[in-house]
Structure 1
Amino acid sequence: MENKIKIDNKAVGQRIREEREKLELSREEFAEIIGLSDYYVGQLERGERQMSLPVLVGISNCLHVSLDYLIFGQNFHNTESHILEAHTAYETYDGNKKKEIGRLLNKCSPKELELIRKLIKTILPYMNGN
C-alpha cells in the first residue's frame, strides 16, 4: 500500500507569503530574485498552483527557511545550532571591520541606509551561507 503525503498548497503559499513579508520584499521584488513572474508567485501564494521541486528549493533558499517548514509548517531538523554558529561567527568578526562598517553606515543619509538595507536583503539569498 502506498503512503501518499498530501501537500496543502494554500498553507504552503501562506507560509511563503508570510516569510516574504518578514523580509519586507514586495511580490515583484521576490519574483525577480527567484526568477519567476510576479503573477506566478501570486498564484503560488494563494495556493492555486503547485510548484516544481527546483522552484520550491529556490524559494526556500531565498527565504532562508527549510523545505520542512514550507511544506509541513515545522522544522524536523534542529536549526538552532546553525543560528548559534552564525551569531558566534558575527561576534568573532574582526572588531576593526565591524567598526569600519559602523562608521560607513553613520555617514549615510536615511535614503542611502534604506537602499543599503534593500541591497543586503537582495543579495543574502544568493550567498547561500558563504
Structure 2
Amino acid sequence: MEGFGRRLENEREIKGYTKRGGSKILGFSENVFGTYEREEASHSLDTLQKVSKLFDVSIDYLITGKEFSPNAGRAVSYQSFKEVLNVFHKYNIKDSYILKKNDWRLLEKEEVIELSKHFDWVAHKAKNK
C-alpha cells in the first residue's frame, strides 16, 4: 500500500503527535505506529477505524489518498491538498482557516461561494502583478 505510511505520518504530524504518542493514544505498544508509517506491518480494519477516527479522515483517504468531496462531486487529490499546506507552511501560517472544518460547517452555500469568488479575485490580482 504505497503512500499509506506517508499519509499516516502527515496526519500524525498535523495533529502534533509523536509516533510513540500516537501509539499510546490508539492503545498500541510503543513502536507500532512507526511500523505502520514505514509500512513494515499490516494493519487490521479495526486499526484503520481507530486511526481514521483519531485523525478525523476516512479509511478510504488513508488507503487511497483521496477523499470524497460532495461539493465537487469528485475525489480530491491528497497531493494537491498537501501542496496547499506547504504554501501555508512556507508563509508560517499556523492553524489556517482552511483546516478549521467546524467553522466551515457553519457557512451557508452562499458564503462558501463568496469565499471562493474572493479567493479567485485575490489569486487573479497576484497573477497580474
Q: Shorter-chain TM-score: which interval?
A: 0.5 to 0.7
**Does the residue aligned with 1:41 lie in a helix, a strand or coil?**
helix
Distance 1:21 1:88, change over 3 A: closer
Distance 1:23 1:43, change over 3 A: same
State the 1:56 CA deviation: 0.7
Aligned to 2:56: 64
Distance 1:33 1:86, change over 3 A: same
Distance 1:63 1:79, change over 3 A: farther
More strand by share: 2
CA distance in 1, matches of 2:100, 2:13: 24
The runs of at least 4 aligned residues of structure 1 exceeding 2 Å deviation read 76-80, 83-86, 88-91
Task: Within 5 Å, give how 1:9-88 maps onto structure 2.
Answer: 10-78=2-70, 86-87=102-103
CA distance in 1, matches of 2:71, 2:50: 19
Identity of aligned residues (%): 30
Gaps (5+ residues) in structure 2?
73-98, 108-129
Structure number with the bigger relative contact order (C-alpha 8 A, sep ≥ 6) is 1
**Does the residue aligned with 2:67 lie in a helix, a strand or coil?**
coil
Number of residue pairs the alignment of both structures matches: 81
CA distance in 2, matches of 1:88, 1:72: 24
Gaps (5+ residues) in structure 1?
1-7, 92-130
Say what the alpha-carbon RMSD is for the aligned residues: 2.7
